[in-house]
Amino acid sequence: MCNTLINVYVKDGDLVSANDVFDEMPEKNSVTWACLISGYTQNEKPKDAFAAFGRMVSAGFIPNHYALGSALRACQRLGAEGLKHGIQIHGLVSKTRYAFDVVVCNVLISMYGSCIEGSIGSDYAWRVFDGISNKNSISWNSIISVYSQRGDVDTVFGLFSFMQKEGIGFSFRPSEYTFGSLIATASESLNIDCGLSLLKQLLAKIEMSGFIEDLYVGSALVSGFAKFGAIDTAKSIFQQMGTRNAVSVNGLMVGLVNVKRGEEAVEVFFEMRDFVRLNTDTYVLLLSAFVEFSCLEDGKRKGKEVHGYITRTGISDSSIAVGNSLINMYAKCGAIQDASSVFSLMCDKDSVSWSSMISGLDQNECFEDALLSLRTMKRNGLIPSNFTLISTLSSCSSLGWMRMGEQIHGEAIKLGLDWDVSVSNTLLSLYADTGCITECRKLFSFMHNHDQVSWNSIIRAFNDSEESVTEATKYFIEMMRSGWVPNSVTYINILAAAASLSCIELTHQVHALVLKHRLMDDNSVKNSLLTCYGKCGEMKDCEIIFSRMSERDDVSWNSMISGYIHSNFLVEAMNLVWLLLQKGQRLDSFTFATVLSACASVATLEHGMEVHACATRACLASDVVIGSALVDMYAKCGRIDYSSRFFELMPLRNLYSWNSMISGYARHGDGHKALKMFTRMKLENQEPDNVTFVGVLSACSHVGLVSQGYEHFDSMSKVYGLAPRIEHFSCMVDLLGRAGDFDKLEEFINRMPINPNILIWRTVLSACGRANGRLPALGKRAAEMIMELEPQNGVNYVLLANMYASGEKWEHVAKARRAMKVAEAKKEAGCSWVSMKDGIHIFVSGDKSHPEKDAIYEKLGELHKKMKEVGYVPETRYALYDVEVEHKEELLSYHSERLAVAFVLMRKSKLPIRIMKNLRVCGDCHMAFKYISQIVDREIVLRDSNRFHHFRCGECSCNDYW
């Protein structure tokens, strides 16, 4: 009677009453003790169960298999902490008749499986299992469960097979527990195909066994199939289940969220909420479903509705997990203010709350707020997790805050999180983005483990210079030698490195590996190959890849257009743009900017205006990227008035817009306007960069503002913290050289903190040439330096010859030309070109190849005659050969720009004449163009290698200061 009372109280969870009955019993037996021990175990009081078991043994009672089983289950519930007691009880069991009792041994199997991790626990459990002479279905289920917890697929299914063979005649039929372990094991398989195949085989067997409607088995199947993305199968099983609970609902929702079918997951929730008692995990899953909506705005709206419901019911107040999910949902839907409100109203916050908020701020580009939140989190005594550090390091990378990143790196080392490969990978990206290549190399060598992302990150870091690209290739080879198979991201990174150097050999080798690893179906890889071959000038290869692409995205078209432009195939690039437009495809801002840049590079104003019209029709002209490209294009095509007008109409300007306008004015010789634009830029709080100061110093150079040039040069470091680069020193050398202040020029070069490069010495030599040979010492020094630095470049010999020719030192000119011949150096041929409706016409000096050559030379003769009539006298000092005066005049008369202007004047028009020249215009042609503009009463715009010259009514915009 007392034993029955104890059992009743135990089942009701009333252990106090059970103890009272136990204590009042005058006589106790083994069953009484077993009831008490079982009561403690069932009510999650394992330590009290041990104590009762110890008192029982001390009192001289021999434990029966129920008492032993309950005590061993208490050990199992304590995990590793209960192992010591479990071994002691096992030792006691071995001395009794229960050493081979199947009930006790079954519990021992489960105890060892739970208390000892890894293969050692499995081995102990196996020894007990192997020692059972009369195994039953529970024995098999117990050992299968042990190996299932280890994820040992082969052993679990091997044991299941043996169980069925052994069970012939003994009715060892699989139960719901057997199938539960088998499904769990198959679901944890790392090989998706293998796991899915096993689940399908189990499903067939379960349907035959009649367990498909079982709640436990059905829920496990739904979760398993959903996890592998077999949603239709999971939904079918879900519909067949006799009853459903939160586990089955959650399993199906997890699968739907994982395959980004958030709308369907929400439908499941609303269908089942009135039939199933849902738990906190269900609401967490529901909130994660909203971020997988095809329209995030709809997801946010639905999320707000659910937020209102869980607030009214008090769910969000009682669960930190739900609050964290709300933060995550709002952040991923772009509603960072709502996420912040939820966070601030949470009564209790854990490290996940802070991590979710910091991650949300980083994702929504609130980088500084993310870093401030990390500081607040630490002040509140919470320790950042690896996810927190990853988000804050990402914010540092976006801001370019390397110092802050280093501090967080130190924090990671203190917390031992630098061992986390994801943290180290984020650090690699930070150092790569901030140009800290040495730190990247050091960090990678100190990393304890490398994964695919680590190798991809280190390869990406090394693609800026010749030295680092070589190192990227070394890491790529080392990666493959370490057993890693490159993925699409790896190939994209190594191809970017090859493209930066235009290295065709490396491109061919990587292309071969892409084919070997069957990644040519990946559009991103094909786009990278297009870019790489395009930068290497191999447009035939580009065309083959492009023609074989089944799907072409914006990047594919842009890569082809950029490749054509890089290879100077502007017509082909424009044809591709027209094809895109004819196909009805919307061009993006990058495409327009790329084409406009090409039009600017060869000064094809008509094509540029056509592209402008297309951008306007596509409603993209107000885009800041396209707008800036238009400002640059019009400036480089000679229409600085259009450039200025469009600049003023821009609703939003960026740094590139200001730089294009400043350099445009400088290039057109209007230095004063360029400097006014710079002043206005500062007033509008746009911080200048190094490119800005190249434009500003060029403006000072073109109008001879030496003192202002010095002021702006000094302000770079003193006011803006910008270290002058070699191009800024070159601008100052040019400024002083044009002004003829050679004493200051020599002093400036001698005081430069960096060694003058070839550009500096060429600028010096050009300045000496304009000084009519008055400074042979400085010119000779410059000549020696450029011959030492670039002995194979013909431009250097030409500059030297020009310097001597300007001083009529013909023997030195001949010597320079002989040296050029000995060195086998070649110079770029001077040419001029004009863009007409029937295409681009190119001319070289003394050209006889043009189809209309006779008419051109006749027109040129007429012009020369009229020019001389109004006072033109050829400046024969610009004919750089020691020949008779008449021959010098003839040489000057047939320069390429004169042939070009004569050709244009053959056509009837009053529009400005636009001529491009690849070299600097000579002084005699400059003088001639002033006369021609007066004679024909038309504006002539000449763009040479240095600047624009606008000739109107016998005057030039440069005021002869060039």
Helix axes 153-166, 137-149, angle to 10 degrees: 170
**How do residues 101-157 score in pLDDT, each as one tens digit?**
888 888 888 888 888 888 888 888 888 888 888 888 888 888 888 888 888 888 888
The answer to whether 775 and 742 are in contact (CB under 8 A) is: yes
Helix/strand number for the chain, H first, E second: 53, 6
- For the beta carbon of residue 648, count every other beta carbon within 10 angstroms: 9
Pick from 112-121, 130-139, 415-424, 804-813: least confident: 804-813
Quick one: average pLDDT of 603-608?
74
Quick one: average pLDDT of 283-287?
85
The pLDDT of residue 232 is: 87
**Which pLDDT band, with edges at 50, 70 and 90, does 370 fall under?**
very high
* C-alpha pair distances (Å), 65 with each of 97, 105, 106, 114, 329: 10, 10, 11, 20, 52
- Amino acid identity at 156: V
Distance (Å, rounded) from C-alpha 805 to C-alpha 813?
A: 6
pLDDT for residue 805 is more than 70: no
Torsional sign, CA 441, 442, 443, 444: positive
CA neighbor of 438 nearest in space, from 411, 407, 461 = 461
The answer to whether 392 and 370 are in contact (CB under 8 A) is: yes
Quick one: average pLDDT of 316-327?
82
**Which pLDDT band, with edges at 50, 70 and 90, does 284 fall under?**
confident
The pLDDT of residue 16 is: 59
Higher pLDDT, 277 or 468: 277
CA neighbor of 179 nearest in space, from 191, 481, 363, 208 = 208
pLDDT for residue 166 is more than 50: yes
pLDDT for residue 795 is more than 70: no
What pairs with residue 917 in β-bridges? 832
The pLDDT of residue 771 is: 58
CA neighbor of 486 nearest in space, from 498, 499, 477 = 477
For residue 363, what is the DSSP state? H
Distance (Å, rounded) from C-alpha 773 to C-alpha 760?
A: 19
Distance (Å, rounded) from C-alpha 94 to C-alpha 117?
A: 23
CA neighbor of 382 nearest in space, from 404, 362, 402, 411 = 411
**How do residues 839-896 score in pLDDT, each as one tens digit?**
788 888 877 888 888 899 899 889 888 988 888 877 655 444 433 334 344 455 778 8
Establish how many alpha carbons lie within 13 A of residue 90's alpha carbon, considering only the half-sphere containing its beta carbon.
Answer: 21
In the numeric block, the tokens 């300045």 are attached to 767
**How do residues 488-530 score in pLDDT, each as one tens digit?**
999 998 888 888 777 888 889 989 999 988 888 888 999 999 9
The pLDDT of residue 98 is: 82
Distance (Å, rounded) from C-alpha 428 to C-alpha 441?
A: 9
pTM: 0.62
List the structure tokens of 340: 């912040």
Ramachandran sector of residue 518 (left: φ over 0; alpha: ψ -120 to 50; beta: rest): left
What pairs with residue 610 in β-bridges? none
In the numeric block, the tokens 């390091």 are attached to 393
The pLDDT of residue 688 is: 92
**Which pLDDT band, with edges at 50, 70 and 90, does 660 fall under?**
very high
List the structure tokens of 134: 């009369």
pLDDT for residue 257 is more than 90: no
The pLDDT of residue 363 is: 92
Mean pLDDT over the full length of the chain: 82
List the structure tokens of 385: 């997790």
**Which pLDDT band, with edges at 50, 70 and 90, does 541 fall under?**
very high
Distance (Å, rounded) from C-alpha 528 to C-alpha 494?
A: 9
List the structure tokens of 924: 């005699």
Quick one: average pLDDT of 402-424?
89
**Which pLDDT band, with edges at 50, 70 and 90, does 4 fall under?**
low
Could you give the dihedral angle defined by the CA atoms of residues 847, 849, 850 and 853, in that order, rounded to the nearest 10 degrees? 70
Give the containing element (helix H, strand E) for 732: helix 726-738
pLDDT for residue 5 is more than 60: no
The pLDDT of residue 822 is: 52
The answer to whether 62 and 30 are in contact (CB under 8 A) is: yes
The answer to whether 109 and 129 are in contact (CB under 8 A) is: yes
Quick one: average pLDDT of 553-574?
82
The pLDDT of residue 221 is: 85
CA neighbor of 174 nearest in space, from 198, 208, 147 = 208
Ramachandran sector of residue 396 (left: φ over 0; alpha: ψ -120 to 50; beta: rest): alpha
What are the backbone dihedrals phi and psi of residue 793, each rounded to the nearest 5 degrees, phi first? -90, 115
The answer to whether 767 and 778 are in contact (CB under 8 A) is: no
- Amino acid identity at 912: P
For residue 793, what is the DSSP state? B
The pLDDT of residue 594 is: 77
Distance (Å, rounded) from C-alpha 528 to C-alpha 536?
A: 12
Q: What angle do CA 206, 211, 213 make, to 5 degrees?
A: 120
The answer to whether 642 and 612 are in contact (CB under 8 A) is: no
What are the backbone dihedrals phi and psi of residue 655, each rounded to the nearest 5 degrees, phi first? -60, -40
Quick one: average pLDDT of 31-56?
79
- Amino acid identity at 847: D
Distance (Å, rounded) from C-alpha 398 to C-alpha 367?
A: 7
Quick one: average pLDDT of 337-346?
90
The pLDDT of residue 269 is: 84
* Residues constituting the chain: 962
Q: Which of 124-133, 380-389, 731-740, 816-825 has the highest mean pLDDT?
A: 380-389
The pLDDT of residue 883 is: 35
pLDDT for residue 250 is more than 80: yes
Produce one character per residue of 860-871: b if its CB has 16 or more CB atoms within 10 Å, e if not: beebbeebeeee
CA neighbor of 472 nearest in space, from 450, 511, 508, 499 = 499
pLDDT for residue 904 is more than 80: yes
For residue 880, what is the DSSP state? -
Give the containing element (helix H, strand E) for 835: strand 831-836
The answer to whether 764 and 737 are in contact (CB under 8 A) is: yes
Domain ranges of the chain: 450-551, 553-652, 755-827, 832-956
The answer to whether 294 and 300 are in contact (CB under 8 A) is: no
Produce one character per residue of 304-322: b if its CB has 16 or more CB atoms within 10 Å, e if not: bebbeebeeeebbeebbbb
The pLDDT of residue 540 is: 92
End-to-end CA distance of the chain: 118
- For the beta carbon of residue 358, count every other beta carbon within 10 angstroms: 30
Higher pLDDT, 119 or 678: 678
Pick from 177-186, 531-540, 767-776: least confident: 767-776
List the structure tokens of 509: 């080798």
Establish how many alpha carbons lie within 13 A of residue 846's alpha carbon, considering only the half-sphere containing its beta carbon.
Answer: 7
Distance (Å, rounded) from C-alpha 167 to C-alpha 171?
A: 6
List the structure tokens of 893: 């008369």
Q: What angle do CA 391, 396, 397 make, to 5 degrees?
A: 95
